[in-house]
């Protein structure tokens, strides 16, 4: 039995199938990605974030009428209750926007008297309300922390464009709005990644939707997951010049350091999302006349493919787009959390609908049957 268990053990659960799902297919060997059976290339090119969120939550693409109603519903649900505004005010300037988001999502449970009895459609409603509130929390908190006036969303703009508008206080250009929408679509879902699995684990104890998404934010924050986007920006800043890029990469490899934005647990070929994002990053850089980061990215990509056969992940090029749009570095992880919120909700609903407590085993490697020494005799 012990040997059998040992054989099944995989560090970091690599390659282990931990549950069934009808939401997303990641084909890591061929670099293919599908949401609810649709190819990511088709969705990223043709759909808004709201359209893809509808697909994830309702299992079908919306008609135009359904999409209009859903877009309005999300816009209506974005407003924050006064209790949450107070929480944000209390921590303004002290916490990072990612920590503020985690705190506010947790606090929202306190503002929902119904949370204990939430089932079925009520969970769907809470999920939609959270998806709607994520950007409001981030942009409200960000502007509060900077002492800037809060900007109300523009009903003529969609979810992703409104994020840019309410954070910067300036309406995005059509290209910026389209690029951020595409970025949200590409980030919204990715099967059993660490944060989504954590969301499902929380739900599997029949805990509530607020707790599940709070867990998701906490797990996403780490630099090996959603925090990578921020670490990539820091890396570009640290490298500094195009000339310094190859020496920087070679030195990092010699010192066994990881290059941020490179590699992926599941994709062993080019990340299909990075393939979609790269031309966007190139054209944005061209438009702003600042090609430095893009040129540095191409060098990192070339050297890592040559030296390690590792390729960029989606965040590598997103970081360049955020930079050219002038988004503050501390917003990079919250942007990922906002985009991922609908994937988390879809997984939470799927887990609620067919639940089994997630409780794996560990391979115990400590001692056994130690001699017990009473407290007064211990040295
Ligand atoms: N830079 C340099 N080497 C890397 C690397 C990177 N970004 N990613 C993986 N490697 C190397 C490891 O050093 C290791 O090499 P070795 O076998 O010679 O020791 C090998 O590839 C396997 O790495 P490992 O960390 O075990 O793979 P993983 O499946 O756990 O890695 C990530 C997946 C994403 C955690 C990893 O690629 C990484 O840390 N990337 C940087 C962070 C990042 O961009 N995260 C965002 C993910 S969307």
Tens-place pLDDT, residues 41-100: 999 999 999 999 999 999 999 999 999 999 999 999 999 999 999 999 999 999 999 999
Catalytic residue, candidates 181, 183, 271, 315: 315
Catalytic residue, candidates 190, 264, 323, 347: 264
CA-nearest residue for atom 8, ligand 1, is 263
CA distance 184 to 245: 29
Least confident of 35-44, 225-234, 268-277, 308-317: 225-234
Contact predicate 71/158, CB 8 Å: yes
Confidence of residue 2 (pLDDT cuts 50, 70, 90): low
φ/ψ of residue 25, rounded to 5: -115, 120
Tokens standing for 249? 């990469």
Q: Which atom of ligand 1 is nearest to the CA of 193?
A: 48
Model confidence, pTM? 0.94
**Span from the CA of 324 to the centroid of ligand 1 (angstroms):** 26
Residue 22 has a pLDDT of 98
Q: Output 7 or 276, whichever has higher pLDDT.
A: 276
For 169, which DSSP code?
Answer: S
Question: pLDDT at residue 329 above 80?
Answer: yes
Q: Output 118 or 160, whichever has higher pLDDT.
A: 160
% of the chain surpassing 70 pLDDT: 98
Contact predicate 343/154, CB 8 Å: no
Domains and CATH numbers, the chain: 24-207+335-353 (1.10.580.10), 228-325 (1.10.230.10)
φ/ψ of residue 36, rounded to 5: 45, 35
DSSP 181-203: HHHHHHHS--SS-HHHHHHHHHH
CA distance 208 to 123: 8
Beta bridge partners, 31, equal none
**Span from the CA of 4 to the centroid of ligand 1 (angstroms):** 28
Confidence of residue 4 (pLDDT cuts 50, 70, 90): low
Confidence of residue 8 (pLDDT cuts 50, 70, 90): confident
Confidence of residue 6 (pLDDT cuts 50, 70, 90): confident
Query: Could you confirm whether 187 is annotated as catalytic?
Result: no
Using alpha carbons, select from 241, 198, 242 the residue that is nearest to residue 343: 198
Confidence of residue 3 (pLDDT cuts 50, 70, 90): low
Mean pLDDT throughout 10-32?
95
CA-nearest residue for atom 39, ligand 1, is 224
**Span from the CA of 14 to the centroid of ligand 1 (angstroms):** 13
CA distance 79 to 134: 10
Mean pLDDT throughout 334-357?
97
Residues with CB under 6 A from ligand 1: 12, 224, 228, 258-265, 308, 310, 313, 315
**Span from the CA of 373 to the centroid of ligand 1 (angstroms):** 44
Q: Is residue 32 helix, strand or coil?
A: strand
Contact predicate 165/157, CB 8 Å: yes
Residue 172 has a pLDDT of 96
Q: Which atom of ligand 1 is nearest to the CA of 226?
A: 46
Query: Could you confirm whether 121 is annotated as catalytic?
Result: no
- Per-residue pLDDT reduced to its tens digit, 164-190: 999 999 999 999 999 999 999 999 999
CA distance 201 to 130: 19
Contact predicate 333/138, CB 8 Å: no
The mean pLDDT value of the chain amounts to 95
CA distance 225 to 192: 12
Residue 112 has a pLDDT of 87
**Span from the CA of 263 to the centroid of ligand 1 (angstroms):** 5
CA distance 123 to 199: 14
> How far is residue 155 CA from its own chain's centroid?
25
């Amino acid at each position: 039995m012990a040997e059998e268990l040992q054989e099944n053990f995989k560090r970091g659960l690599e390659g282990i199938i931990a549950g069934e799902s009808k939401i997303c297919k990641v084909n890591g060997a061929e670099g293919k990605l599908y949401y609810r059976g649709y190819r990511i290339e088709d969705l990223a090119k043709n759909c808004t974030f709201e359209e893809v969120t509808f697909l994830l939550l309702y299992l079908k693409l919306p008609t135009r009428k359904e999409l209009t109603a859903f877009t309005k519903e999300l816009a209506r649900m974005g407003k924050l209750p006064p209790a949450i505004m107070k929480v944000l005010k209390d921590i303004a300037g002290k916490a990072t926007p990612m920590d503020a988001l985690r705190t506010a999502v947790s606090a929202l449970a306190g503002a929902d008297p119904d949370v204990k009895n939430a089932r079925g459609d009520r969970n769907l409603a809470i999920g939609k309300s959270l998806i709607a509130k994520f950007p409001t929390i981030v942009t409200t908190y960000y502007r509060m922390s900077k002492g800037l006036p809060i900007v109300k969303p523009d009903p003529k703009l969609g979810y992703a464009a409104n994020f840019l508008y309410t954070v910067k206080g300036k309406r995005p250009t059509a290209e910026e709005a389209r690029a951020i929408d595409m970025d949200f679509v590409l980030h919204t879902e990715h099967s059993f990644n660490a944060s989504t699995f954590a969301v499902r684990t929380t739900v599997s104890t029949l805990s509530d939707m607020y707790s599940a998404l709070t867990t998701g934010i906490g797990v996403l924050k780490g630099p090996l997951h959603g925090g990578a986007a921020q670490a990539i920006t820091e890396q570009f800043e640290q490298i500094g010049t195009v000339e310094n890029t190859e020496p920087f990469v070679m030195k990092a490899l010699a010192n066994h350091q990881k290059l941020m934005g490179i590699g992926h647990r599941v994709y062993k070929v080019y990340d299909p999302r990075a393939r979609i994002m790269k031309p966007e990053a190139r054209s944005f850089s061209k438009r702003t006349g600042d090609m430095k980061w893009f040129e540095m990215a191409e060098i990192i990509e070339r050297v890592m493919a040559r030296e390690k056969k590792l390729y960029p992940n989606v965040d590598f090029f997103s970081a360049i787009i955020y930079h050219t749009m002038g988004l503050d570095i501390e917003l990079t992880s919250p942007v990922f959390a906002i985009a991922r919120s609908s994937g988390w909700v879809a997984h939470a609903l799927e887990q609620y609908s067919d639940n089994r407590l997630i409780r794996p085993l560990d391979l115990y490697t400590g001692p056994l049957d130690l001699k017990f020494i009473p407290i007064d005799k211990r040295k």
